[in-house]
A and B are shown apart, each in its own frame.
Chain A
Amino acid sequence: MSACACDAGEPFATVSPRLEAGVAVPEGRDAGMGWQRLASSYELRFTELSITAGDAVLIDTAEAIGFDPRMPPPGYSLCHNGHCHSDDGRLVSYEEIGAELAGGAGAVWVLALPVGMMDVLAGVSRPLACEPSCDLPLASITQVTMPVTRVRARGLVRDGRAPARIAGEVPWQLELELELELAGGPGEPLMLGGSLELAADRSHAPDVALTLELRPSSRIFDQVVWDQLELVPDSGPAMEPGFDLLGDAAAVSAVLAGLGELELGVEVTR
Chain B
Amino acid sequence: MKFASTINLTMSICAAAAALLGSGCSDEHMDEPAAESQSADACEHMVDGPFEAVSATIDAGEAGPALTETHTRYTIALSADPADPGSRIGYVDVVVDEPGELSVYLDAPVPLSVTAPSGDELAAEASEDSIAECIEVAMSHTYDVTVGTYRVRLGPTDREEASLVLITAGHGHE
Which A residues have a C-beta under 8 Å from some C-beta of B? 26-29, 37-41, 77-78, 80-81, 85, 160-163, 194-195, 219, 222, 261, 263, 265
Contact = CB atoms under 8 A, between A and B. Distances in A.
Given A27-B99, A195-B1, A38 B119 contact: no
Contact of B146 (A28, A40, A194, A219): A28
A161 B120 CA distance: 10
A129 B171 CA distance: 40
Contacts of B119: 161-163
Nearest to B172: A27
A29 B98 CA distance: 8
28 contacts: A27-B98, A27-B171, A28-B98, A28-B99, A28-B146, A28-B147, A37-B146, A38-B147, A38-B148, A39-B95, A39-B97, A39-B147, A40-B95, A41-B117, A41-B149, A80-B1, A85-B24, A160-B117, A161-B149, A162-B117, A162-B118, A163-B61, A195-B1, A219-B97, A222-B22, A222-B95, A222-B97, A263-B1
A184 B22 CA distance: 25
A40 B64 CA distance: 12
Given A28-B98, A28-B99, A162-B119, A39 B24 contact: no
B131 to A, nearest CB: 28
Contacts of A27: 98-99, 171
A40 B149 contact: yes
Interface in B93-143: 95-99, 117-119
B117 A161 contact: yes
Interface in B7-55: 22, 24, 27
- SS class of chain B's interface: helix, strand, loop or mixed? loop
Contacts of A28: 98-99, 146-147
Contacts, number: 57
Contact of B22 (A39, A77, A163, A263): A39
A38 B22 CA distance: 12
B68 to A, nearest CB: 10
Nearest to B150: A41
Nearest to B117: A41
A209 to B, nearest CB: 18
Nearest to A265: B1
A194 B2 CA distance: 10
A263 B147 contact: no
B91 to A, nearest CB: 14
Given A39-B22, A162-B118, A162-B119, A29 B1 contact: no
Nearest to B119: A162
Nearest to A165: B63
A78 B26 CA distance: 9
Contact of A29 (B95, B117, B147): B147
Contacts of B97: 39, 219, 222
